[in-house]
Amino acid sequence: MSDTPVAEMSFEDAMAELEKVLGQLERGDVALDESIALYERGAALKARCETKLKEAEEKVAAITLDGDGQATGTKPVEGL
């Protein structure tokens, strides 16, 4: 597991670590206590990925299109 706090991870970093965590859990070659810690870390990583995806969706939704459907800019998204 990475020492980086989940809240500071980029989407890509969180997703890569989540894949590693899932791999370890699926193999089942870790002790029970470590499995619990991995599961908790995986849940936090999943939540981080979901948050970052939602932020990206909101940014995409805020793109302003002109009459021809071309992006002309963005409007501010509250809270970001």
Residue 65 resides in a domain: yes
- pLDDT at position 76: 60
- pLDDT at position 3: 83
Residue 79 resides in a domain: no
Q: Is the pLDDT of residue 80 over 70?
A: no
Residue 70: pLDDT band (50, 70, 90) is confident
User: Per-residue pLDDT tens for 10-58?
Assistant: 999 999 999 999 999 999 999 999 999 999 999 999 999 999 999 998 8
Residue 62 resides in a domain: yes
Residue 22's CATH number: 1.10.287
Residue 52 resides in a domain: yes
Residue 53 resides in a domain: yes
DSSP 77: -
Residue 80 resides in a domain: no
Number of domains in the chain: 1
Higher pLDDT, residue 2 or 74: 2
| Host domain of residue 31 | 6-74
Residue 13 resides in a domain: yes
